[in-house]
Amino acid sequence: MNVIRLEDKFAQFTDHWNPRVIGELNDQHIKIARVQGEFIWHNHAQEDELFMVVRGQLLIDFRDGTTAELNPGELLVVPRGTDHRPHCAAETWIMMIEPKSTVNTGDQTASERTRTQLEQI
C-alpha cells in the first residue's frame, strides 16, 4: 500500500499556484501546491474545498471582510458557492481535497491562472 509522503511530493516541483494530484478517494482528488502572492476571487458552485497548510501560512479572504488565517496543523473547509481569495506573503505549502471536477479558478472565466490538466505525482 502506497504511503504518500508530503515532503517528498513537494520536492518534485517548485512553481506556484499549479496544483499537483497526489492521490484520490471517493471521487475526490488530494492535491498539493506551493503558493505565494495573491490568487483571484472565485468560488466553486458545487464543490466544498478543504485547505490544510503543510508549511507557512495561508490567508483566505471572504466577501464579508473577514480573513481566515491557516497555519500548519489547521484546516478549513470552504463551502461550495463561497467566494474566496487565497494569498500569502511568503511561500506556503498547502494540501487541498476536493471533487475531481474542481477547477482552481472556479466560476471565473479561464485565464492564465487556470489549470485544467493537473500533473499526477
Residues lying near its own copies in the complex (CB under 8 A): 1-7, 23-26, 28, 30, 47-50, 54, 60, 62, 66, 68-70, 73-78, 82, 97-99
d(CA 12, CA 14) in angstroms, rounded, equals: 7
The least distance separating its own copies from the CB of residue 97, rounded to whole angstroms, comes to 7
Residue written as grid cell 497526489 = 22
Q: Report yes or no: 23 and 120 within 8 Å, Cβ to Cβ.
A: no
Query: At closest approach, how far in Å is the CB of 27 from its own copies?
Result: 8
CB of 49 to its own copies, least distance (A): 7
* Distances 53 to 28, 33, 62, 84 between C-alpha atoms, Å: 18, 10, 18, 16
Q: Which is nearer to its own copies, 99 or 108 (CB)?
A: 99
57 close to 70: Cβ distance less than 8 angstroms: yes
- Which residue lies nearer to its own copies by CB, 7 or 112? 7
Nearer to its own copies, 40 or 76 (CB): 76
Work out how close the CB of 7 gets to its own copies at its nearest, in angstroms, rounded to a whole number.
6
Count of residues making up the chain = 121
